[in-house]
Structure 1
Amino acid sequence: MTSPIFARIQSSRTADDIVSQIETLILEGVLRVGDRLPGERDLSVQFDVSRPILRSALKSLEGKGLLTTRHGGGTFVADVIGEVFSKPMMDLISSHRKAAADYLEYRREIESIAADYAAQRATEDDRLLLRRIMEAMQEAFETNDFKKEAELDVELHNAIGECAHNIILLHTLRSCYRLLADDVFYNRTVIYGFPGARAKLLEQHRAIFEAIMASNSTGARAAVHQHIDFIQRAQTDATRSSAWQDVSRLRRNQRESDTK
């Protein structure tokens, strides 16, 4: 059983105290979008407050758009990340080729900063989390679980953002990785299909991981740059290969129709 993340309210035991604590947990990335809060009884025990005070706090947080209640299903952290890249904006940028290049350029620079900070600031708990993700990535690679590899790719980068211990970096990166998880700019499974690409990606992820574990901020920055540069080249190759296949198919269809 995991330890509770909610602490007993020590002072006046008001709804404001609870609101402040939950806001901090969301801001620091401890509570993520979609996380379900414990039931009202358990939560009131953890906070050591009465249920009316707890209900008042939850109602306040819901009014701020930080929590959402599903009828008969509990209370969840609301989708606060979606406001950074709204659906209309995501649709707009995904339909423009230049946006894909700009996205990778942005990731190269912002992730290198996050990896740098993570190398300097990661705690023992952070390092344990990174190690577990890296071990899971190795297992997914060895079992040819492409879907799991793609999920862990996003999870590792998310975790590095958390290990940077910078709130603004954390949330901008999370919005950035949502685009990655949704394959808005490119389909990662296509890149995984290229000969040797999966092994190369695993090697690059391990290089970032090892630099952070060694507190090597310069090495972490360099490893991120190499990783994003590789993705950029692979994406260009994938696009060209797809275009070649389309043209080849058209030629074959045309010539087959001429012989009929």
Structure 2
Amino acid sequence: MDNKFLADGINKSTLSQQVLDHIVNLLMSGQLKTGDRLPSEFELMEMLHVSRPVLREALSSLETLEIIKRKPREGTFINDKISSSPFKAMLALSINDIPSVIEARIVLELGLVTMAAEKINDDGLQRIKKTIDLIAANPNTDYGYLDQEFHRIIAESVNNQVVEGMIVALLIAHKKTDSLITHRDPEITIEHHLAIYLALKRRDPAAAYHAMYHHLSFVRSKILSRNELQSP
């Protein structure tokens, strides 16, 4: 069996994140390549000296990030498309560093919303407005999927193949930060989203930038203050 997985073992105190980091580092160093088949779960457990729950948690995260794919009765493979989206691998290394993930999301979204203000079409604007209307119609529901759709439409309206990988990483970062929100503020969400929508409708990149920054700064403060309260 290939011994590349044996490098230095795994620091068990950091559990699945260390397994995830180890596999991603093998990928980024070229020791693992797209299409490569990973050893079986039992073999990985033996090589990395971790339990099955720890390994499965790491593999689940890698699958969510679309770095690996599982084929029934065939095994687990490095995704053929990972080379076209290196941002996924970089995000994987910091997925549990919440401040960094939020900052990455802010950097990406500010650039995307600025370009969207120049390029978004009427259909995109209508779909954005629909997400806002649906949140307003059902303010007491878990509208996380509508929030993600709002940001996805803005990102994809840039219509730039070079940043496609960034958009996938953005949506993963959004899903991660959204999972940390236990209490929603629909009135504030609607107010912020509406300000972004109106700036896009006016084709005003500067206003769209500032409206998005105001929104994401609020989200960052909300998530980080919650995490600090939960820290030991």
Shorter-chain TM-score tier: 0.5 to 0.7
Counterpart check, 1:117 vs 2:115: yes
Residue 217 of structure 2, aligned match among 223, 229, 249? 229
Measure the CA separation in 1 of the matches of 2:144 and 2:80.
22
Measure the CA separation in 2 of the matches of 1:102 and 1:231.
14
Contact 1:114-1:161 at 8 Å conserved across structures: yes
Q: State which structure, 1 or 2, has the greater radius of gyration over its C-alpha atoms.
A: 1
Residue 201 of structure 1, aligned match among 183, 189, 195? 189
Counterpart check, 1:217 vs 2:211: no
- Are residues 187 and 164 of structure 1, via their aligned partners in 2, closer, same or farther at CA, if it must alter by over 3 Å? same
Instruction: Give, in angstroms, the shift of residue 179 of structure 1.
Output: 3.2
Measure the CA separation in 2 of the matches of 1:129 and 1:89.
28
Residue 141 of structure 2, aligned match among 141, 145, 148? 145
- Are residues 83 and 168 of structure 1, via their aligned partners in 2, closer, same or farther at CA, if it must alter by over 3 Å? closer
Residue 189 of structure 1, aligned match among 150, 161, 181? 181
Query: Which residue number corresponds to residue 169 of structure 1?
Result: 163
- Are residues 134 and 170 of structure 1, via their aligned partners in 2, closer, same or farther at CA, if it must alter by over 3 Å? farther
Query: Which residue number corresponds to residue 126 of structure 1?
Result: 124
Measure the CA separation in 2 of the matches of 1:93 and 1:171.
17
Query: Which residue number corresponds to residue 251 of structure 1?
Result: none
Name the count of aligned residue pairs. 155
Contact 1:161-1:169 at 8 Å conserved across structures: no
Q: Deviation string for 1:139-189 (max 9, x for gaps)? A: 232xx111xx100111111100111222233431222212322x3x56343
Could you tell me which amino acid in structure 2 is paired with residue 125 of structure 1? Answer: D
Query: Which residue number corresponds to residue 257 of structure 1?
Result: none
Q: What TM-score does the superposition give when structure 1 sets the normalisation length? A: 0.52
Contact 1:117-1:165 at 8 Å conserved across structures: no
Measure the CA separation in 1 of the matches of 2:197 and 2:91.
32
Instruction: Give, in angstroms, the shift of residue 217 of structure 1.
Output: 0.9
Query: Which residue number corresponds to residue 6 of structure 2?
Result: none
Could you tell me which amino acid in structure 2 is paired with residue 145 of structure 1? Answer: T
Secondary structure (helix, strand or coil) at the match of 1:190 reads coil
Could you tell me which amino acid in structure 1 is paired with residue 141 of structure 2? Answer: D
Q: Deviation string for 1:48-81 (max 9, x for gaps)? A: xxxxxxxxxxxxxxxxxxxx9x99xxxxxx9947
Q: Quote the sequence identity (%).
A: 17
Q: Deviation string for 1:10-44 (max 9, x for gaps)? A: xxxxxxxxxxxxxxxxxxxxxxxxxxxxxxxxxxx
Instruction: Give, in angstroms, the shift of residue 115 of structure 1.
Output: 1.0
Measure the CA separation in 1 of the matches of 2:230 and 2:222.
12
Measure the CA separation in 2 of the matches of 1:79 and 1:225.
35
Secondary structure (helix, strand or coil) at the match of 2:165 reads helix
Could you tell me which amino acid in structure 2 is paired with residue 93 of structure 1? Answer: S
Residue 107 of structure 1, aligned match among 101, 105, 108? 105
Where do residues 5-20 of structure 1 align in structure 2 (5 Å cutoff)? Answer: none
Secondary structure (helix, strand or coil) at the match of 1:189 reads coil
Query: Which residue number corresponds to residue 95 of structure 2?
Result: 94
